[in-house]
Structure 1
Amino acid sequence: MMKVILDQDKCVSSGQCVMAAPEVFDQRDEDGVAVLLTAVPDPGSLDDVQQAAAVCPAVAIRVETGY
């Protein structure tokens, strides 16, 4: 099981997370800040979510696993 934590205050609106895991992340229309669609995504999304966290230029995404 995994939990995704997104710090919107750190987000720089690059959209990398949306491209890596569109089933988990979106962006607000008004300013492009990332939005978490689900904090506990399907386990099949783990690789995509970890990729999103890895490519985030602001290090605004944390993934906690195994709790």
Structure 2
Amino acid sequence: MFDTVSDRLQQLSYKHAILRLALVSATKEGMQEFENEALAMFAINLETETRSIIEQHDKEMEQQKGQHHADNQN
């Protein structure tokens, strides 16, 4: 499990690279139906993970804003 948004984004960039390579390979060689389905599932999971990271980042930014606001009032 990755703790920071930065760590998760690094892993996500690797997964995006894998997806791009798979898509290039698919267009060059043609794919069987099960390969298309597997690639589609990978892309869907990647999109879900991307949304999760964005949500985590947004929460962290809100927490930081709240902390800065609290610090400024003290």
TM-score (norm 2): 0.29
Higher strand share: 1
Bigger-Rg structure (1/2): 2
